[in-house]
Chains A and B, each alone.
Chain A
Amino acid sequence: MATNTQIPVADRRVPVIAPGHTFSTIGEKISNIVLSRPVSLGWIFGFLIVFSMMNMLMMALGYLFIKGTGIWGINIPIGWGFAIVNFVWWIGIGHAGTLISAILCLLRQTWRNSINRFAEAMTLFAVACAGIFPLAHTGRPWLAYWLFPYPNTMRYWPNFRSPLVWDVFAVSTYFTISLVFWFVGLIPDFASLRDRAESTLVQRIYGLLAMGWRGSARHWHRYETAYLLLAGLATPLVLSVHTVVSFDFAVGIVPGWHTTIFPPYFVAGAIYSGFAMVLCLAIPIRAIYGLQDFITMRHLENAAKVMLATGLIVAYGYGMEAFMGWYSGSQFDSFLLWNRLHGPYRLSYAALLACNIFIPQVLWLKKFRVSTGWLWLISFVVLVGMWLERFIIVVVSLSRDFLTSSWGQYYPTKWDWMTFAGTIGMFLTAMWLFVRILPMISIFELRTLLPESQVHEAAEVKQ
């Protein structure tokens, strides 16, 4: 049998899982973070901070519900402001999770197995944060269900030709499918936690969630089919979501919005910022919870490379916008370009170019890709840059459109800032709880990365 054993081709790269691990050490290491690791003072302290930030969101929203959107800095001509900037930013961040879990699954990039769970969690929390903004922006969020088609006494139906209605369907489908994908991935791990739990209560809770999963070969067979199909369905979905978000802009006629490059450019930007968020979270988490064996430098480097590649697509998008501003010969488009470079928001635009295009180019050098400190910093810069990008798209285009008489400036209020910071708090609160309640790395998928899980010799044994 030994002669048949496949010896892996010598690989100079860092392995995706550190040597010396067995099926049980993987389970032990990951589930102990949830089951037996004591709650540290640092965790509580951090939780208090992010939880207070989340409560700031509650206050900001509470006041908004009482007073209305007048407390925000939005007004004509800039009716969208922070609400839509933050919505697009958060939705974009979510995209990396689905890219990692679905697209890299279809492409058989097995390194994804150690980061997909947590990236999917990030997707869910980011989409939840994103959803708050358009909801609050409707002005009367308690009537937001009017956006859905349902028989009602007003005998009214939504306008299916409107990109804003498309958005409702795209984002709610995205959230639902991400949740389902995440939950399906968690079922076998819930079973692992159930079987490892020592207290009856914990065992009951995970047992309920595992729904009686027992790892039967028939079950695994259906499970793998379903998982693959979900990945296949989530792949076009994730590409469609930011495409639809970009239609909110591209279908309008405002200069700087009405371009055909928006869908691919938005999707690339979404993945760009999403990977930046993955790195911003993964680097501290792997250090704090000692997960360097599972989230190795290989993962961080790969994520950095994806960031570099999508960043270049985004740079191409900027270049193309500038080129079309000149080439179209439309005075409004060329004015938009001038306005971005020299208008009142020129500093934001300069910062955007620095954050999204120039600074991330250092990722070409391996030195920066393998240094966690640099990588974290660059990712943070990209997150800021991508937020500025949405700010530029939303605010600069609206502030000066066709008629000089309708020009205006946008000044965010403290409520705008509180809402934005509050969603960051909500996102981090959810992450804070997630790492202690659920296995943040997929236990069973990590096990399949061990050579012992491969049964290629079995075919010979049969004869």
Chain B
Amino acid sequence: MTIETSESPIYGLMAEFDSAQELVAAAHKTHAAGYQKIDAYSPFPIEGLAEAIGFHKNSVPLVVLIGGLIGGISAYALQYWVAVITYPVNVAGRPYHSWPSFIIVTFELTILFAGLSAAIGMIALNGLPMPYHPVFNVPEFAKASENKFFLIVFSSDPKYDAARTRSFLNDLAPRMIAEVPS
């Protein structure tokens, strides 16, 4: 099943597994064996898989917090500026800075900015949109969105060695191993 690509440089070695359990176990072993630059692919989120490849924390919550704060503060500041400074309208002698009325728009814009930050932040941190990615060069990878599970060791890993990494992956009993041309 190996794809022979002698000319193009190798992006990594990919192993295919049948079940989520096998993939998580294999990811744990690969990470424990000292491979740092690895990744795993699955058709649905698997609990503990990211941790298994050594990815524990992501910065989406921070992005959302910053987005929410910007939304909230700017919304309140805008309303204050409009209602008190630039366009004050005296309605029955009520104070210009009638803060209870400003809460709703502040709240809505907090949610709006935080929500957009969550979506855009997630997409951007994931490096998407990405029109080309080497893993798709492996024909079997089409099943990664269906019912197969993949583990890859990138060739940029300091421990990567074509022959030794292959035999290591082979010991994990995958369905197949493929070289990923970049």
A292 at the interface (CB under 8 A from B): no
Residues of B within 8 A of A452 (CB): 19-20
Complex partner residue of B116 from A176, A213, A220, A240, CB under 8 angstroms: A176
A183 to B68, CA, bound (A): 20
Give chain A nearest CB distance to B72 CB in angstroms.
12
With contacts A160-B101, A225-B61 taken as known, whether A453 is within 8 angstroms of B46 at the C-beta atoms is yes
Instruction: Tell me whether B123 and A217 are in contact (CB under 8 A).
Output: no
Give chain A nearest CB distance to B34 CB in angstroms.
15
Instruction: Tell me whether A23 and B146 are in contact (CB under 8 A).
Output: yes
Instruction: Tell me whether B112 and A159 are in contact (CB under 8 A).
Output: no
Closest to A247 in B: B104
With contacts A169-B105, A176-B115, A212-B131 taken as known, whether A229 is within 8 angstroms of B64 at the C-beta atoms is yes
Instruction: Tell me whether A217 and B40 are in contact (CB under 8 A).
Output: yes
A216 to B145, CA, bound (A): 10
Residues of A within 8 A of B87 (CB): 155-157
State which residues 32-55 of B face A: CB under 8 Å.
Answer: 32, 39-50, 52-53, 55
Residues of B within 8 A of A458 (CB): 21, 24-25, 28, 48, 52
B89 at the interface (CB under 8 A from A): yes
With contacts A169-B105, A221-B58 taken as known, whether A454 is within 8 angstroms of B89 at the C-beta atoms is no
Q: How large is the interface on A (under 10, 10 to 19, 20 to 34, 35 or more residues)?
A: 35 or more
B157 at the interface (CB under 8 A from A): no
Residues of B within 8 A of A462 (CB): 25, 28, 32
Instruction: Tell me whether A214 and B136 are in contact (CB under 8 A).
Output: yes
Instruction: Tell me whether A214 and B144 are in contact (CB under 8 A).
Output: yes
Complex partner residue of A217 from B53, B64, B104, CB under 8 angstroms: B53
- What is the 8 Å Cβ interface bit string for chain A, positions 155-171, against chain B (1 contact, 0 not)? 11111110001100110
With contacts A188-B44, A233-B118, A462-B25 taken as known, whether A214 is within 8 angstroms of B133 at the C-beta atoms is yes
Stretch with Cβ within 8 A of A (4 or more), from B1-9, B77-85, B159-167? B77-85
A126 to B104, CA, bound (A): 23
Instruction: Tell me whether A212 and B43 are in contact (CB under 8 A).
Output: no
State which residues 111-138 of B face A: CB under 8 Å.
Answer: 111-112, 114-116, 118-119, 121-123, 125-126, 128-133, 135-136
Residues of B within 8 A of A215 (CB): 41-43, 144-145
B11 at the interface (CB under 8 A from A): no
A455 at the interface (CB under 8 A from B): yes
Residues of B within 8 A of A156 (CB): 87
Residues of B within 8 A of A29 (CB): none
A450 to B108, CA, bound (A): 37
With contacts A188-B145, A453-B46 taken as known, whether A161 is within 8 angstroms of B122 at the C-beta atoms is no
A-B contact count (CB 8 A): 218
Instruction: Tell me whether A457 and B49 are in contact (CB under 8 A).
Output: no
Instruction: Tell me whether A194 and B42 are in contact (CB under 8 A).
Output: no
A180 at the interface (CB under 8 A from B): yes
Instruction: Tell me whether A180 and B119 are in contact (CB under 8 A).
Output: yes
Instruction: Tell me whether B45 and A448 are in contact (CB under 8 A).
Output: yes
Instruction: Tell me whether A230 and B118 are in contact (CB under 8 A).
Output: yes
A22 at the interface (CB under 8 A from B): yes
State which residues 89-121 of B face A: CB under 8 Å.
Answer: 89, 91, 94, 98, 101-102, 104-105, 107-109, 111-112, 114-116, 118-119, 121
A85 at the interface (CB under 8 A from B): no
With contacts A173-B109, A455-B48 taken as known, whether A161 is within 8 angstroms of B98 at the C-beta atoms is yes
Residues of B within 8 A of A222 (CB): 58, 60, 122, 125-126
A196 at the interface (CB under 8 A from B): yes
A229 to B64, CA, bound (A): 8
B177 at the interface (CB under 8 A from A): no
Complex partner residue of B60 from A183, A225, A240, A244, CB under 8 angstroms: A225
A236 to B53, CA, bound (A): 35
A9 at the interface (CB under 8 A from B): no
State which residues 204-247 of A face B: CB under 8 Å.
Answer: 211-226, 229-230, 233-234, 236-237, 240, 244, 247
With contacts A157-B82, A161-B101, A196-B146 taken as known, whether A226 is within 8 angstroms of B119 at the C-beta atoms is yes
Residues of B within 8 A of A224 (CB): 45
A205 to B135, CA, bound (A): 20
Instruction: Tell me whether A212 and B27 are in contact (CB under 8 A).
Output: no
B175 at the interface (CB under 8 A from A): no
A159 to B119, CA, bound (A): 31
Instruction: Tell me whether A220 and B98 are in contact (CB under 8 A).
Output: no
Instruction: Tell me whether A170 and B108 are in contact (CB under 8 A).
Output: yes
Complex partner residue of B119 from A160, A184, A188, CB under 8 angstroms: A184
Residues of A within 8 A of B79 (CB): 160
With contacts A22-B147, A156-B87, A161-B101 taken as known, whether A225 is within 8 angstroms of B122 at the C-beta atoms is yes
With contacts A161-B83, A220-B50, A225-B58 taken as known, whether A27 is within 8 angstroms of B116 at the C-beta atoms is no
A338 to B123, CA, bound (A): 57
Give chain B nearest CB distance to A213 CB in angstroms.
7
Give chain A nearest CB distance to B149 CB in angstroms.
9
Residues of B within 8 A of A448 (CB): 44-45
Give chain B nearest CB distance to A103 CB in angstroms.
14
A461 to B21, CA, bound (A): 9
A459 at the interface (CB under 8 A from B): yes
Complex partner residue of A447 from B44, B104, B123, B135, CB under 8 angstroms: B44
Complex partner residue of A455 from B46, B50, B111, B131, CB under 8 angstroms: B46
State which residues 130-182 of B face A: CB under 8 Å.
Answer: 130-133, 135-136, 141-147
Give chain B nearest CB distance to A159 CB in angstroms.
7
- What is the 8 Å Cβ interface bit string for chain A, positions 35-51, against chain B (1 contact, 0 not)? 00000000000000000
User: What are 6 residue pairs bridging A and B, where the CB atoms are less than 8 Å apart in the complex?
Assistant: A177-B115, A192-B145, A223-B126, A226-B60, A230-B118, A453-B44
Task: A177-B111, A188-B44, A455-B21 are known; give 4 further A-B pairs, CB within 8 A.
Answer: A27-B146, A173-B111, A221-B55, A237-B115
